[in-house]
Amino acid sequence: MSVVTDSPSPADVFWMAHDGLPRQAPGSVATTELLLGLAGPLPERPRIVDIGCGTGAAALPLVAATEGDVVAVDTHRPFLDVLRSEAAAAGVADRVRVLEASMADLPLPAGGFDLVWAEGSAYIMGFDAALRDWRRLLAPGGALVLTEVVWTTPDPAPGARAFWDPGYPGMRTTAANATAAESAGWTVQAVHLLPDSDWRAYYEPLAARIAALRADGVDPAVLDEVAREIDVRAAHGDDYGYAGYVLRTRGGAE
């Protein structure tokens, strides 16, 4: 057993727990492909931007399922390095461009994309802000696909609220988000609640990594905080989930 002698910060431990994992949020290739199909017709070679791409859990399946090119955006350089390596190994390096940038200040052209994609990342800036700010990226007839954490009951358990309210007080029900999107000028083409298997695809590798870090002597109190979301999901998974939204602008991109 190796022992960690320094005391990494909570932020350091978060990245230690997530770096190298296959996913950084609930999801699956099957869900990505399903949402892509629900997005409807796209150009023969769609221009795609994947915002908050992580290590490419969505970007690589999107490249595989289309003849298009992907700009993959994230702020965490190690994730982008993994994605670049994975794209090269898959023989699609020429169709994947990584971009280290904030989703709130994207150095990308207006109207430059046929498909804007964001799995498990829009919460960072908020659902409404994402719908407002990313609209400009879409070419006429383009689609926005994003997944968002949602309440699946109007009366969540106190334990679920205690976890989610401090970090994401704007969290709404699936239907309320759809209504907000309609009010903001979007047409909601589809809403899909991710299955429990998509949560397991994220949490099982994360739990294994946390166990390995415990064995390496990382501060257990900090690891408990990273693991807390897994415990909350086990206790209150019926109260919340991730929903995929497939949206198009009314009257073209603005």
Query: Which CATH number belongs to the domain containing residue 139 in this structure?
Result: 3.40.50.150
Number of domains in the chain: 1
How far apart are the C-alpha atoms of 156 and 235, rounded to whole Å?
Answer: 12
Say if 4 falls within a structural domain: no
Say if 229 falls within a structural domain: no
Say if 202 falls within a structural domain: no
Per the structure, the complete domain to which residue 111 belongs is given by 25-196+237-249
Say if 1 falls within a structural domain: no
In this prediction the pTM is 0.92
83 vs 3, more confident: 83
Contact criterion met (CB below 8 Å) for 250 and 140: no
pLDDT at 3 > cutoff 80: no
Question: Residue 8: what pLDDT?
Answer: 79
Closest of 32, 254, 49, 248 to residue 142, by C-alpha: 248
Question: Residue 238: what pLDDT?
Answer: 97
The kind and range of the H/E element at 151 are strand 138-151
How far apart are the C-alpha atoms of 62 and 189, rounded to whole Å?
Answer: 19
pLDDT at 5 > cutoff 50: no
Say if 13 falls within a structural domain: no
Contact criterion met (CB below 8 Å) for 140 and 114: no
pLDDT at 1 > cutoff 60: no
Say if 17 falls within a structural domain: no
Say if 97 falls within a structural domain: yes
pLDDT digits (tens, 9 = 90+) for 219-248: 999 999 999 999 999 999 999 999 999 999
Q: Which long-range contacts (CB under 8 A, 24 or more apart) does 76-82 make?
A: 76/15, 78/15, 78/19, 79/19, 79/24, 79/53, 79/54, 79/55, 80/53, 82/20, 82/55, 82/56
Contact criterion met (CB below 8 Å) for 229 and 207: no
pLDDT at 251 > cutoff 80: no
- Band of pLDDT at residue 252, cut at 50, 70 and 90: very low
Say if 163 falls within a structural domain: yes
How far apart are the C-alpha atoms of 175 and 188, rounded to whole Å?
Answer: 11
Strands 240-249, 113-118: pairing is: unpaired
How far apart are the C-alpha atoms of 218 and 224, rounded to whole Å?
Answer: 11
79 vs 4, more confident: 79
